[in-house]
Amino acid sequence: MIAAEVSSLIEYAIAAALLYFYAKSKDKAALYFGLGVLTYALAHTLGGTVLSWIRQEYNYEMAKFVKDVNYKVFESLRNVLVASFMALSLMVISQLVKDLLKSKVAEYVKVYAAVGALAFLALRLYCVWVAEDVKHPFFALAQWVFLIPGSLVAAAAGFQIYYKLKVLGGLLLGLSFLVYAAILPLYAAWKGTPMLNTWYVLRIISDVLLLAGVLYL
């Protein structure tokens, strides 16, 4: 899909821009968000290349490709990359809450980043290696345990930074993660339909808002 390829290229460009900004300014938010977006882009690339090829070899018959060891290894790696994206993002949010809002909530965000990532991986890896079923309820549950609430935590922190300090970057970060939280559950519903192109456009918007948010902090 052209929209998927374009969105991935934009993610790599945004990751490069954030890391370049870090190289110039030594802004840690740019570093960790840049690394986070890069891991997310790599996860999407992995899903669209290696994992897609493996599925094609089995004519997309899930009962067969989920038992392939190569599939299990690369699907596991993809989920590690996705978990890393959210964990890195929450670590930045924790630091921003600590430095800008002077709130003790920052420590809870940091703990959630670690515990949530482990819970996410435990659920996803169970589906890949034990249940051998990526349509197992635990697979979808994983994003409700970490990705969606993590995004909402990040969005809330961004809005708080904007509300209390009138920092535009906070508003942009909040909008970025709010969009991301909203589209996560829509992927499964829109997959295989024309609406999936809209999903990728919304993902691009989320990524662009993230870049703008870091630049305006």
Mean pLDDT, residues 165-174 = 96
Segments in 101-167 forming alpha helices (H): 105-125, 137-142, 148-165
* Percentage, residues of the chain above pLDDT 90: 81
Quick check: 25 pLDDT over 80? yes
Residue 1's pLDDT is what?
57
Model pLDDT, residue 48: 82
Locate all alpha helices (DSSP H) within the chain, ordered by sequence: 2-25, 28-48, 50-57, 62-65, 69-100, 105-125, 137-142, 148-165, 168-183, 186-190, 195-215
Q: Work out the percent of the chain whose per-residue pLDDT is above 70.
A: 99
Side-chain-facing half-sphere of 198: CA atoms under 13 Å: 10
Q: What is the pLDDT of residues 81-114, one digit of tens each?
A: 999 999 999 999 999 999 999 999 999 999 999 9
**Residue 161 CB partners (closer than 8 Å, separation 6+):** 96, 97, 100, 101, 167, 169, 170, 171, 173, 174
**Mean pLDDT for the chain?**
93
Q: Are 88 and 36 in contact (CB under 8 A)?
A: yes
pLDDT digits (tens, 9 = 90+) for 27-41: 989 999 999 999 999
pLDDT of 99-158, one tens digit each? 999 999 999 999 999 999 999 999 999 999 999 999 999 999 999 999 999 999 999 999
List Cα–Cα distances, 34 to 5, 13, 66, 67, 93, in angstroms.
Answer: 19, 10, 32, 34, 13
- In terms of Cα–Cα distance, which of 15, 21, 66 is closest to 42? 15
Report in angstroms the alpha-carbon separations of 85 from 16, 59, 91: 15, 31, 10
pTM, rounded to two decimals: 0.94
